């Protein structure tokens, strides 16, 4: 799989374009084209349907500790600034960056890596932004240039380490930065808050300052009481939200993988503290299955439990679902979704004020120098009375938090294939799961005469209200198949001479390319079967 080919197909066929491209684009921002918008909507709709709309609250799903309820929310992107102070984002949501005085480029400290090189009596750290074979090659080229050697002398270089992170380097005077030619041009790491700041109304000072949300989760926590008071939900229950989030990433890269504007699909699942460990396990496994049910290959998809030192300030257990994207070196994986056990951190923070852990690892309200809470909570009672057990408590939270754009990118990468057909012709095919495919069926008249177009248009119109179907009468039939293969359309239906006599069409399967004859009256039910969700 080549990432360049996938990116080229996305542009050529209208899945994805760089944002504001005619002005040179804007790093970290992307636009979905006519096929891409349908694909991403299908990803979000599959998620919403499987997790919320079609959830059966009367039955106990396989392996789940009990039945549960699910409801949805759609919150504003700009919220009261105190939300981000109590959530911890104001103080803690930063990455460390380093600047290069020579190239004027900025890097995320933990994303720069390099190799130690010994030569001419000195030890230098040759840095790069890429990993794997490419990183080894790049550091070799840079080292040769730095030492004034020729490429055929590469074997004489004495490497003192493998590729390691810049975070392991203490002496920055020994570093050749990724885009520099001289030593010691990187500044010491500095904190950089990732939230986009804006100003609400006519106030341009700190008084009017607010932030674009960096996650959708907090809108759910601050509405917890509204949802409990306005519906009949009882623990265990989940609140789901899909929406835009914004992070001023230092180095957006890898196509849409790390963007500055992206969409999240998040669930905050509220349960009794004693049941939370079981729910955590169940949600991890269920969310993993969701991706494999929609076509991701388990050989490229891992469920990775975080080490204690990796856990976020709020989490007492997190697992990531990670995919082996083609832009990563073999053996490396990129996060699609995190499933976190957040305990009662969020509800307590929004009630009492920003929390920190004390020496015994207990959550306490962080105090300022004046002895008052550093960031004051709402003071609203966010506890829940559980009449099952006649107890009052802050529910514990399990949070499956997925990225809609990363999921979409993984499905695109997984789907991409190039094949040589009988006769030597090449075809590019996007093997998207039928539920995700932007077009579900393409309808062709074999030729533009003998009443075939009229019959094909009749079929198109009969399906269009319920299915995303496309009509195509342009060019040879083989070319029309190729166009639909690249768009990922699972079925092509051709009206031919036989249709006019026996009311059957050819049903051509994208992946096997096999054609069977199907009665016109059965097309709709066959399409419905194809698009039926697998239970997750
Ligand atoms: N509420 C928890 C939370 O936001 P996260 O791991 O920071 O957790 C969840 O984000 C998901 O959002 C990630 O697994 C990823 O899919 C997506 N995501 C995060 N940052 C992103 C970015 N810069 N570009 C695209 N997707 C991103």
Both tokens of residue 327? Answer: 């832009």
Share of the chain above pLDDT 70, in %: 99
CA 481–ligand 1 middle distance (angstroms): 37
DSSP assignment of 53-72? IT--TTS--TT-SS--EEEE
Whether 258 lines ligand 1, by a CB cut-off of 6 Å, is yes
Share of the chain above pLDDT 90, in %: 90
Pocket test for ligand 1, best of 264, 283, 284 (most atoms within 8 A of CB): 264
Mean pLDDT of the chain: 95
Please state, in angstroms and rounded to a whole number, the distance separating the CA atoms of residues 231 and 440: 37
Whether 89 lines ligand 1, by a CB cut-off of 6 Å, is no
Instruction: Give the atom of ligand 1 at the shortest distance from the alpha carbon of 401.
Output: 9
Does the pLDDT value for residue 247 go beyond 90?
A: yes
Helix H or strand E encompassing 303: strand 301-305
- DSSP 8-class letter at 102: T
Please state, in angstroms and rounded to a whole number, the distance separating the CA atoms of residues 341 and 279: 9
Q: Please give the pLDDT value at position 2.
A: 86
Does the pLDDT value for residue 536 go beyond 70?
A: no
Please state, in angstroms and rounded to a whole number, the distance separating the CA atoms of residues 23 and 483: 29
Q: Please give the pLDDT value at position 61.
A: 96
CA 15–ligand 1 middle distance (angstroms): 21
The dihedral formed by the CA atoms of 6, 293, 311 and 281, expressed in degrees to the nearest 10: -170
Does the pLDDT value for residue 1 go beyond 80?
A: no
Q: Please give the pLDDT value at position 313.
A: 72
CA 303–ligand 1 middle distance (angstroms): 16
Does the pLDDT value for residue 8 go beyond 90?
A: yes
Does the pLDDT value for residue 309 go beyond 90?
A: no
Q: Please give the pLDDT value at position 5.
A: 96
Burial 287-307 (b: 16+ CB within 10 A, else e): bbbbbebbbbeeebbebeeee
- DSSP 8-class letter at 376: B
Instruction: Give the atom of ligand 1 at the shortest distance from the alpha carbon of 216.
Output: 1
Task: Tell me if the pTM is above 0.85.
Answer: yes
Place of tokens 């269920």: 286
pLDDT for 124-170, tens place per residue? 999 999 988 999 999 999 999 999 999 999 999 999 999 999 999 99
pLDDT for 370-418, tens place per residue? 999 999 999 999 999 999 999 999 999 999 999 999 999 999 999 999 9
Q: Please give the pLDDT value at position 121.
A: 79
CA 139–ligand 1 middle distance (angstroms): 30
Whether 265 lines ligand 1, by a CB cut-off of 6 Å, is no
């Amino acid at each position: 799989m080549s990432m360049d080919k996938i990116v080229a197909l996305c542009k050529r066929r209208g899945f994805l374009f760089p944002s504001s491209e005619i002005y040179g684009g804007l790093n970290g921002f992307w636009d979905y084209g006519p096929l891409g918008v349908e694909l991403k909507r299908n990803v979000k709709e599959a998620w919403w349907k499987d997790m919320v709309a079609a959830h059966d609250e009367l039955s106990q799903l396989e392996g789940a500790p009990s039945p549960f309820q699910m409801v949805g929310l759609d919150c504003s992107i700009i919220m009261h600034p105190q939300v981000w102070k109590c959530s911890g984002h104001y103080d803690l949501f930063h990455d460390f960056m380093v600047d290069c005085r020579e190239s004027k480029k900025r890097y995320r400290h933990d994303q720069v890596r390099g190799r130690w090189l010994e030569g001419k009596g000195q030890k230098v750290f040759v840095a790069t932004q890429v990993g794997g074979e490419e990183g080894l090659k790049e550091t070799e080229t840079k080292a040769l240039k730095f030492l004034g050697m020729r490429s055929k002398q590469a074997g004489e270089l004495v490497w003192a380490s493998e590729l390691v992170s810049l975070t392991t380097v203490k002496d920055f005077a020994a570093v050749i930065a990724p885009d520099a030619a001289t030593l010691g041009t990187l500044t010491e790491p500095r904190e950089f808050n990732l939230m986009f700041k804006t100003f609400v109304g006519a106030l341009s000072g700190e008084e009017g300052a607010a932030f674009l949300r960096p996650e959708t989760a907090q809108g759910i926590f601050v509405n917890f009481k509204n949802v409990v008071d306005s519906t009949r939900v009882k623990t265990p229950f989940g609140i789901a939200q899909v929406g835009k989030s914004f992070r001023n990433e230092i180095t957006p890269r890898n196509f849409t993988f790390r963007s500055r504007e992206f969409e999240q699909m998040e669930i905050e699942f509220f349960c009794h503290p004693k049941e939370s460990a079981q729910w955590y396990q169940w949600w991890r496994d269920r969310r993993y299955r969701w991706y494999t049910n929609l076509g991701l290959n388990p050989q490229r998809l891992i469920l990775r439990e975080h080490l204690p030192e990796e856990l976020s300030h709020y989490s007492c257990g997190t697992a990531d679902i990670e995919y082996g994207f083609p832009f990563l070196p073999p053996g490396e994986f990129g996060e699609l979704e995190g499933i976190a056990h957040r305990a009662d951190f969020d509800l307590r923070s929004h009630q009492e004020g920003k929390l920190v852990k004390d020496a015994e690892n207990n959550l306490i309200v962080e105090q300022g120098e004046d002895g008052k809470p550093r960031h004051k909570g709402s003071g609203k009672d966010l506890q829940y009375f559980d009449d099952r057990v006649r107890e009052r408590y802050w529910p514990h939270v399990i949070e499956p938090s997925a990225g809609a754009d990363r999921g979409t990118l993984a499905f695109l990468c997984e789907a991409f294939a190039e094949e040589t057909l009988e006769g030597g012709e090449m075809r590019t095919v996007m093997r998207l799961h039928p539920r995700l495919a932007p077009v579900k069926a393409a309808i062709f008249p074999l030729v533009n005469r003998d009443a075939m177009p009229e019959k094909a248009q009749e079929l198109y119109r009969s399906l269009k209200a319920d299915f995303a179907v496309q009509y195509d009468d342009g060019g040879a039939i083989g070319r029309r198949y190729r166009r639909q293969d690249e768009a990922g359309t699972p079925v092509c239906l051709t009206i031919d001479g036989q249709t006019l006599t026996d009311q059957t069409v050819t049903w051509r399967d994208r992946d096997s390319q096999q054609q069977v004859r199907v009665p016109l009256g059965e097309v709709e039910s066959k399409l419905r079967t194809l698009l039926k969700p697998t239970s997750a």
